[in-house]
Every structure is written in structure tokens, then in C-alpha cells.
Homo-oligomer: A and B are copies of this chain.
Amino acid sequence: MSTWRARIDAIDQILLVLLNERSRSANEIGHIKKQHKLPIYVPEREKTVLGNVLKNNSGPLEDEAVRRLFERIIDETRSLERRKYQNLD
């Protein structure tokens, strides 16, 4: 069991790096949106993002689980993007 747990711990460290890296990219996008006075929330783009992961999901996570996970990821990313740029000009 400890081998599998060590594997999960290692995966989690990579997940953490990638989630932060994803937020960094989203902040860059937020910055561009701000410069061009574009809205932070772009529902079509969020649908595309979800579609991209769902079409490549081969499990064992079910599509609904993947959808819930990425909805959370998108939501946290958008919140940060919004907080970071709402007061900048």
C-alpha cells in the first residue's frame, strides 16, 4: 500500500506544479484581456476547454468526475484571473 501512496504523493506534486503553471498562463491571458478591455468570463472558451478534456478521457475517472474536476479547476483559475486584474488599468 505504501508504494501506491508514494505514487499518489508524487503525482500530487506534479499536479500542484501544473495547476500553478495553468494559473500563471491564465493570468497572462487576464492581463491581455484587461489591456483590450475584453471580458474575463468567456463561456464558449470554457466549453471548449471542457470538451477538449472530455473527448480524451479514457478513465478510470468517469466523464462526470472529469467534468466536475475541471469545472473546479476552471473556476479557481477564473477567480484568480478576476481578482488579479479587476483593479488594474
List chain A positions with a Cβ less than 8 A from chain B: 1, 4-5, 7-9, 11-16, 18-29, 32-33, 45, 49, 52-53, 56-62, 65-66, 68-70, 72-73, 76, 79-80, 84
Main secondary structure of the interface of A (DSSP, over half): helix
In the bound complex, what is the Cα–Cα distance between A60 and B82 (angstroms)?
A: 13
**How long is the Cα–Cα vector from A29 to B80 in the complex, in angstroms?**
34
With A65-B79, A69-B19: A60-B11 Cβ-Cβ less than 8 Å: no
Minimum distance in angstroms from A19 CB to a CB of chain B: 6
Task: Decide yes or no: A68 and B60 within 8 Å by CB, A8-B25, A25-B8 being known contacts.
Answer: no
**How far, in angstroms, from A18 to B11 measured CA to CA in the complex?**
7
